[in-house]
Amino acid sequence: MRTITWDDEQKQLKMIDQRILPAQFEILAFSDYQEVAKAISTMVVRGAPAIGIAAAFGMALAALNSKARSISDLRDDLELAGRILNEARPTAVNLSWAVSKMLAEAAQVEGDISDVKEALLSSAKCMADEDVAINKQMAAYGAALIEDGDNIVHHCNTGALATVDWGTALGVIRLAHEQGKKIHVFVDETRPRLQGARLTAWELSQYGISYDVIADGASGFLMRTKQVQKVFFGADRVASNGDVANKIGSYMLALAAYDNGIPLYAVFPTSTVDLSLQSGDAIDIEERDRDEVLDIQYHNRQVCPADASARNPAFDVTPHRLISGLITEKGIVYPPFYKNLSQIMQA
């Protein structure tokens, strides 16, 4: 089933609560855009593509619930909703991309208030369907890079849970498996929220794909001892030169892959590309609550001292020089990225 669905009868957005997987499977319903913004910030929904589509439906809810009596007032309500949704998570560009698309749609609709509301909901639904189609196209390009017998390191979660359905980097791996290729996945735990150990391992179990969960620091050992052939991860924002912002730990993984001559690929839709940024140095990196780092228990005992401090950057930037290729729905982009990424975006 889809991570994100729209209930026409109840006029509600429904999303899988990813905070409690795999112990519990629960679908939550959202009736207004402020609830959606909170769901994004608290990581009920996560993954750059999924965040974008959730924001699109949040904008649709803002329109449906608006008490405005004129199109001008409705557009003012949408501008406010857009600002609140954009503030929910700063790094993933898909969020602002989706909000901008919905505001542009509202600006160009001709008709009355009901026409604008209908158009925005229709646009959000189309964006959700397009997300699935785009993911499957990326999977087709990426799966061609995977050979029978490959062992693959995967970071964070980039599967169906991170999108509307199917997935980005994990979608590539899933398709390779469905093509009959015998593959094995080393799943980085991905601290501090353990999206790999909790979510990616759960998805791989559903698909019947062979895997081992590993500590984040184990990837370098496996690469140096030649137990890994490929590395795949996703992206939350990509600069025009090919620098990739992704879940914290991606940079360290890329360094180990580069040092050992192992191909590393980032998989993402072109909506994740931000051509306005010349490099990853300009990407706003979200720093989350330190309790995500400190509230760790071992044998039901607190790990960190009671007075411990912590830093919790949620993302890091992998320089383009460490990346073998960028897999998008328009094809695989190879270096030089500053030239080829721009070309494929304009295609």
Alpha carbon distance 107, 94 (integer Å) = 20
Q: What average pLDDT does the segment 289-312 reach?
A: 95
Whether 128 and 174 map to the same domain: the answer is no
Give catalytic status of residue 76 as yes or no.
no
pLDDT score recorded for residue 135:
98
Q: Give the closest residue to 236 by CA, choosing from 228, 245, 227.
A: 245
Q: Reply yes or no on whether the pLDDT at 185 is more than 90.
A: yes
Residues 316, 171 within the same domain: yes
For residues 90 and 286, the answer to whether their CB atoms sit within 8 Å is yes
In angstroms, the CA 246 to CA 243 distance is: 10
d(C-alpha 183, C-alpha 178), whole Å: 10
pLDDT of residue 234: 98
307 and 280, same structural domain?
A: yes
Residues 61 and 72 in one domain: yes
Residues 99 and 121 in one domain: yes
Predicted confidence (pLDDT) at residue 278 exceeds the cutoff of 90: yes
Residue where one domain finishes, among candidates 116, 136, 156: 136
Residue at which a domain ends, from 102, 136, 170: 136
Quote the domain boundaries for residue 274: 138-346
State the pLDDT at residue 97.
95
pLDDT at 347 over 90: no
CA–CA separation, 5 vs 125, rounded Å? 9
Same domain, 182 and 266: yes
- 76 & 161 share domain: no
Same domain, 127 and 152: no
Of 81, 115, 136, the domain-final residue: 136
* Structural domain total, the chain: 2
Per DSSP bridges, beta strands 273-274 and 237-239 are parallel
**CB count in 10 Å sphere of residue 210:** 11
The answer on 132 and 148 residing in a single domain is no
**Domain CATH for 157:** 3.40.50.10470
The 10s digit of each residue's pLDDT in 124-167 is 999 999 999 999 999 999 999 999 999 999 999 999 999 999 99
Q: Above 90 in pLDDT, residue 110? A: no
The DSSP result for 46-106, as a single string, is -SHHHHHHHHHHHHHHHHHH---SSHHHHHHHHHHHHHHHHTS-SS-HHHHHHHHHHHHHH
Instruction: For residue 102, give the CATH number of its domain.
Output: 1.20.120.420
> One of 165, 236, 243, 316 is an active-site residue; which one?
236
Report whether 152 contacts 183 (CB < 8 A).
yes
When the pLDDT of each residue in the chain is averaged and rounded to a whole number, the result is 97
pLDDT higher than 90, residue 1: no
57 with 94, same domain: the answer is yes
Mean pLDDT confidence for 334-338: 97
Residues 96 and 76 in one domain: yes
- With a pLDDT cut of 90, the percent of the chain lying above it is 98
Are residue 118 and residue 147 in the same domain, yes or no?
Answer: no
Segment 40-85, tens digit of pLDDT: 999 999 999 999 999 999 999 999 999 999 999 999 999 999 999 9
Q: What is the mean pLDDT of residues 265-291?
A: 97
